[in-house]
Amino acid sequence: MTRLRIAGGMVYDPANGVDGEVRDVCIEDGRVVASLPDDAPRLDARGLVVMPGGIDIHAHVAASSVNAARRILPEEHVRDPERAPALEGGGGRSGTGGTVPTTFTTGYRYAGLGYTTVFDAAVAPAAARDTHAQFDDTPIVDGGCYILMGNDAYLLRQLAAGERERARDYAAWLLGATGGYAIKVVNPGGVELWKRNVREVRSIDDAVEVPGVTPRAILETLADAADALRLPHPVHIHCNNLGVPGNVATTLASMQAVDGRRAHFTHLQFHSYAGERGKAWSSAARQVIEHVNAHPGLTADVGQVMFGPATTLTADGAVEYLLHASTGRKWVNIDVELETGCGIVPYEYREKAAVSALQWVIGLELFLLSSDPWRVVLSTDHPNGGSFASYPELIRLLMDRAYRDERLKGVNQKMLAGSALADGIAREYTLNEIAIITRAGPARQLGLTRKGHLGPGADADVTIYTPNADRAVMFSTPRHVLKGGVPVVEEGQLRRAPSGRRLHVRPAFDEGVTRDLRRWFDQYGTISFDNYPVAPLRDPAVGEGA
């Protein structure tokens, strides 16, 4: 039995209403417990800040697309070699970083920031096996993945036939077969259209294949499926028209389309633009966030843009073609059979570039105008808006108005007229709110009852920071990190790298769908139906056991 009393720290545990109180956190066998005997080992946390481990609700870290990106970025990897950490007992692994780090380095660097859970937000079902293999080589963090369904040919067929129940059964089967955690929709219908050389979705009522198959129908069907299947996380939506000026109309229409259902809208920043193609862009952050504020069934992550290098990498192939055409940067497109797409373009957000500056401002506006930190949480859509390594800097921007205003002065002002941030926003996030948008909020949105808090029964994922007025310094160098009770970071040094667990679901469904699916695979598949599901995962499905 391993026990530890984290003694006397300032505890931020918003899920349990604890806001900076000095108290002990007791850990036994990987879980938080209510108390421990007085002679249990102690970690002196007096003067330190104690929070649950960070949870990244939306990143790209372990997918076939991520590996395709790594493959074309040798120049980044050459510049950022990472030697193996000196782990207790040896066995640390080297790697390379850049915006798309290697697997071991990804696990170490997340843990080094106090993050202990990460979700890969876009996995092509046919390549799910690849995701699990990459997660197996990503130490420390618990990992899960969202399964791309919004352009799936079989699913669209069911919609065309009016078979929404079968579509739901298919979604359930697919989650179990792939070891996925949630249903992901990327540019609903738009990726299928891109494969047909139709490069624009004008509205969510555009027909995709036949009348009745529209982005709206896809959103409704999959939002309903997530609710009916009682999935811990609602449908995770990347709207149509990402990155396009004027896309606020599509974004709001998509939110209205799923009204009355649970839904998560991801990297909202990329979907909050006013203006028109070929003309000036401007911020529509206020319109979008006011809609979210007024609709308690909606949750979102921001997808903040951070200045510096990034790699744009998405299932939304059409967007990446446009970015390639406008920047001339190298470009990968991979159309994934009957399921989805993939596009990759390296990119750089520059303070002096008008669009980059606007995107940076819009992201901050979404954060600062959000009325509910539980529902609008932190992400950079790593590595799309910037690397997860920039989270501490983002936290500083949110917590420190003077610093933020100073940075704002240095960016291109061309498209900022009338934006709320340019007009001045006084709000500064508190430590408690940071704990919500990086821990408690994502856990609640994900339905992870054992994560994001420090009450009895919680996983003993704990991060301990040394307070520092420079919040970027504070959040980039945790003093201690525990993962499942194992001290992975001690006195700022990575010392242990246990394997993470896999977070996945296995919803029940009507087996009848598999008969039809087998026919579909026999007719059009290039993978045998029997070979499609991934090998059973070591960890039990969420909700199915310890």
Partner 1 sequence: MSARAGIVEHVTCLGCGCACDDITIVARDGRIAEARNACALGAAWFGDGSVPDEVRVHGASASLDAALDAAAALLAGARRALVHLATDVSCETQRAALGIADILRGAADGPTTATAAGGVLAAQRRGRAGATLGEIRNRADLIVFWGVDPARRYPRFPSRYAPEPPGVFVSGARAVAGVDVGDAVAPDGVEPRLRLDPGEELDALAALRAALAGRAIAAGARALAERVAPLAERLRAARYAAVVYDGESASGGGGGGDTRRAEGLIALVQELNAHTRAALCALRAGGNRSGAEAVMTWQTGFPIAVEFSRGAPRYRPDEGAAAWLARGDVDALLVVGDPAALASLPGADAPRVCIGPRASTARPEAVVAIDTGVAGIHDGGMAFRMDDIPLPLRPSLPGPRDALGVVTALAERVRRAAAGRPA
Residues near partner 1 (CB under 8 A): 64, 67-68, 70-74, 76-78, 81-84, 89-91, 93-96, 98, 101-104, 126-127, 129-130, 133-134, 136-137, 153, 194-197, 321, 324-325, 330-338, 344-345, 523-528, 530-531, 535
Q: Six-digit token pair at 279? A: 């003309």
From the list 72, 79, 67, the residue with the least C-alpha distance to 106 is 67
Q: How far apart (Å, rounded) are the C-alpha atoms in residues 350 and 347?
A: 10
Residue 282 pairs in a beta bridge with: 274
Compare residues 173 and 521 and give the one whose CB is closer to partner 1: 521
Other beta carbons within 10 angstroms of residue 409's beta carbon come to: 7
Compare residues 158 and 370 and give the one whose CB is closer to partner 1: 158
State the minimum distance, in angstroms, from the CB of residue 131 to partner 1. Answer: 9
Phi, psi for 319 (deg, rounded to 5): -60, -40
CB 408 within 8 A of CB 422: yes
Give the chain's radius of gyration (CA, Å). 22
Q: How far apart (Å, rounded) are the C-alpha atoms in residues 263 and 272?
A: 17
Compare residues 34 and 535 and give the one whose CB is closer to partner 1: 535
State the minimum distance, in angstroms, from the CB of residue 327 to partner 1. Answer: 12
Compare residues 91 and 260 and give the one whose CB is closer to partner 1: 91
Q: How far apart (Å, rounded) are the C-alpha atoms in residues 300 and 266?
A: 5
Compare residues 535 and 546 and give the one whose CB is closer to partner 1: 535
State the minimum distance, in angstroms, from the CB of residue 533 to partner 1. Answer: 9
State the minimum distance, in angstroms, from the CB of residue 216 to partner 1. Answer: 23
Peptide bond into 507 cis (omega under 30): no
Compare residues 335 and 372 and give the one whose CB is closer to partner 1: 335
Compare residues 192 and 227 and give the one whose CB is closer to partner 1: 192
Q: Six-digit token pair at 356? A: 């980059």
Residue 511 burial class via C-beta count within 10 angstroms: exposed 0-12, middle 13-18, buried 19 and up? exposed
From the list 103, 108, 135, the residue with the least C-alpha distance to 502 is 135
Compare residues 319 and 395 and give the one whose CB is closer to partner 1: 319
Compare residues 275 and 346 and give the one whose CB is closer to partner 1: 346
| Helices 215-228, 153-160: inter-axial angle, 10-degree rounding | 100
Other beta carbons within 10 angstroms of residue 523's beta carbon come to: 7
Phi, psi for 224 (deg, rounded to 5): -60, -40
State the minimum distance, in angstroms, from the CB of residue 99 to partner 1. Answer: 11
State the minimum distance, in angstroms, from the CB of residue 40 to partner 1. Answer: 31
State the minimum distance, in angstroms, from the CB of residue 304 to partner 1. Answer: 25
Q: Fill in the amino acid letter for 92.
A: G
Q: How far apart (Å, rounded) are the C-alpha atoms in residues 407 and 319?
A: 29
Compare residues 332 and 435 and give the one whose CB is closer to partner 1: 332
Compare residues 485 and 500 and give the one whose CB is closer to partner 1: 500
Q: How far apart (Å, rounded) are the C-alpha atoms in residues 321 and 466?
A: 44
State the minimum distance, in angstroms, from the CB of residue 165 to partner 1. Answer: 22
Q: What angle (nearest 5°) sits at the alpha carbon of residue 234, between those of residues 149 and 394?
A: 100
State the minimum distance, in angstroms, from the CB of residue 310 to partner 1. Answer: 16
Q: How far apart (Å, rounded) are the C-alpha atoms in residues 364 and 427?
A: 11
Q: Fill in the amino acid letter for 491.
A: E
State the minimum distance, in angstroms, from the CB of residue 73 to partner 1. Answer: 7
State the minimum distance, in angstroms, from the CB of residue 196 to partner 1. Answer: 7
State the minimum distance, in angstroms, from the CB of residue 503 to partner 1. Answer: 20
Phi, psi for 342 (deg, rounded to 5): -160, 130
From the list 385, 339, 386, the residue with the least C-alpha distance to 122 is 339
Compare residues 94 and 256 and give the one whose CB is closer to partner 1: 94
